Amino acid sequence: MLRRLLLAIVPATLLVGCMKPPMPMEAPKKPAVPADMKKVEPMVGSWTESGEIVEPDPEKMKAMMSESERAKFKSTFTGGGKAEWAMGGMALKWEGWHDMGEGQKESFVEYWTWDPKVGKFHTLYVSDWGKTGTGLATPCESCNGWRVKGAGFDELGRKSSYEGCLKMTDKDSMEWCFTERGPMGKMSLKGTSKRQ
């Protein structure tokens, strides 16, 4: 009898003792925009860009092409876009395009959001060519810009990784360089963006 009583009382006591006090049922409050979002404010605006392939060497690439391919090949490209605040200032939204050659364009959307835990911006990239990517952008005080590193997939699900930098050379100009490693090997690009 005593054993049965203990088997009934002990679990009930343990259960009551482990219960947390009731939590207040207040409605959640929207957090304030992180002050660190101001670090990307210099990018807000409309931009045009011009860039070039640095690696593989364009001349070496041409040497491996047929005559008709060489006639179409361009080692330079253009693009443009607009960066604006989104979601009440909780994100910076880039929407733009890149020249892909032969009259084709790739359109993209990219978001930057601040992560206070790691002290960096999360980036999310999606294009109408089926490319996706996520990364981290680290503010760089010494270079007046950001160092970016991430990974993604192309339209066939093949992995790639990238790293690079964006540097504000003045309030209306950015210089950038990126290296991507993917199914086609290593490719390095550099260029300039100018405020419109």
Tens of pLDDT, residue by residue over 92-147, are 999 999 998 888 899 999 999 999 999 999 999 999 999 999 999 999 988 899 99
Let me know: does 73 contact 53? Beta carbons within 8 Å. Answer: no
CB atoms within 10 A of CB 109: 15
56 in Cβ contact with 73 (< 8 Å): no
Confidence at residue 6, expressed as pLDDT on a 0 to 100 scale: 43
What is the structure's pLDDT at 101?
Answer: 82
* Residue 105, C-beta contacts closer than 8 angstroms, at least 6 positions apart: 97, 98, 99
Nearest residue to 34 via CA among 89, 87, 74, 111 = 89
**pLDDT higher for 86 or 15?**
86
Mean pLDDT of 25-33: 88
Tell which wins on pLDDT, 58 or 94. Answer: 94
